[in-house]
Amino acid sequence: MKTGKRIVISGGGTGGHIFPAVSIARALQRIAPDTEILFVGAQGRMEMEKVPASGFKIIGLDIQGFNRKSLLKNWNLPFKLLGSLRKANKILSDFKPHVAVGVGGYASGPLLYAAGNQNIPYIIQEQNSYAGITNKKLSKKANKICVAFENMDKFFPANKILLTGNPIRRESVDIQGKREEALEFFNLSAKRKTILLTGGSLGSLTLNNSAFGAINKIIDRDLQLIWQCGSYYYELFKNKLLQGSEDQIKLFPFLQRMDLAYAAADVIISRAGAGTIAELCVVGKPVVLVPSPNVAEDHQTINARALADKDAAVVVTDDNAQEFLIDVVIELLNNEVHCTDLALNIMRMAIYNADEVIADEVLKLAEQN
């Protein structure tokens, strides 16, 4: 398809927002190679590095989120918001997009608000099972709202909703036939069962402490652990690990080859971000989710419950993780029937081509404009 359309994609802050945005951009390029794409992110956030590394141009807004823990730190938020709105209006006036796409994150609000004021059609990609305040307000002028969970009409106008699932990193879920390569890559034993622990792109102190506190249990039960701790925590836990544990404990700041990590895993421990869940559904391995409490509206708990209600995941609360998480995982590894049921049930929830479904909607809207 040839369109020559200009599309602006806004959002970011975490990998859970950035990776779906990049997936949509790549799908647009596959379907219509002459599409011109511009990203808008938040200055100082990881999208300013990750998006250019993926081959796309990005412009940053000087915007921050609302700090719930320290209200005093919000004193300059109104000024940043006004400045971001002015810059967003200029970006749109200069780039003249046919469609704007918002994937969530700090920059998404000002950009889509400005698009609405300039009568530029826009699509919201809501990744979570609980919609945030910004997206609920933006939905009034949105042309389409692409969602990943059912029953989202309690947040958005039903006639605008399209159930698409969340875009995934296709290269990360391409695991078929890679187990042997994965074990060799991570220097793991084929005779041991493997736990994969990932706290997302930024790492999770709760998950890290849970793993570290149970290192002896993992070693004594002849298990092995691929542990993505996040770059912020890497030196701390690297220095804490006992010499001689490297045979069974593989610590990484960030996993560049998620496909091999997924392929090696017998059980996966993860936070419950919507983008991660979308990948886990396609991977089809038994999963133990520990929802982060440090997110708006506690949406990760709601995401996790959507799976647990279908026996597609086991959920351990953040409060209980340090005491019980690894025990739950060990018990699960010893229950092959439950592992099989979890794997089958989570695979039933998989949507592989969400990126292309959303890209098609974007291009359809662009053609109308």
Q: How many CA atoms lie within 13 A of 189 on its CB side?
A: 12
Q: Which pLDDT score is estimated for 97?
A: 98
Known binding residue 198? Answer is no
Rounded mean pLDDT of 57-72? 73
Q: Which pLDDT score is estimated for 287?
A: 98
Q: How confident is the model at residue 225 (pLDDT cuts 50, 70, 90)?
A: very high
State the Cα–Cα distance between residues 68 and 81, nearest whole angstrom: 17
Q: Read off the pTM.
A: 0.83
Known binding residue 203? Answer is no
Q: Which pLDDT score is estimated for 71?
A: 56
The closest of 16, 97, 8, 96 to 57, measured between CA atoms, is 8
Known binding residue 201? Answer is yes
pLDDT > 60? residue 53: yes
Q: Which pLDDT score is estimated for 295?
A: 80
The closest of 163, 123, 129, 127 to 141, measured between CA atoms, is 123
Other beta carbons within 10 Å of 297: 12
Cβ contacts of 361 within 8 Å, gap of 6 or more:
123, 144, 146, 162, 164
For 140-153, the pLDDT digits (tens) are 999 999 999 888 99
Burial tier of 4 (Cβ tally within 10 Å: 0-12, 13-18, 19+): exposed
Q: Are 181 and 160 in contact (CB under 8 A)?
A: no
Q: Which pLDDT score is estimated for 15?
A: 67
For 318-363, the pLDDT digits (tens) are 999 999 999 999 999 999 999 999 999 999 999 889 999 999 999 9
Domains and CATH numbers, the chain: 6-167+353-368 (3.40.50.2000), 179-347 (3.40.50.2000)
The closest of 54, 268, 302, 7 to 170, measured between CA atoms, is 54
The overall average pLDDT reported for the chain is 92
Lowest mean pLDDT segment, chosen from 77-86, 123-132, 284-293, 318-327:
77-86
Known binding residue 300? Answer is yes
pLDDT > 90? residue 125: yes
Known binding residue 128? Answer is yes
pLDDT > 60? residue 70: no
Known binding residue 169? Answer is yes
Q: Are 63 and 91 in contact (CB under 8 A)?
A: no
Pull the structure tokens for residue 214: 């149970």
Q: Are 137 and 155 in contact (CB under 8 A)?
A: no
pLDDT > 60? residue 73: yes
Q: Which pLDDT score is estimated for 1?
A: 54
Known binding residue 14? Answer is yes
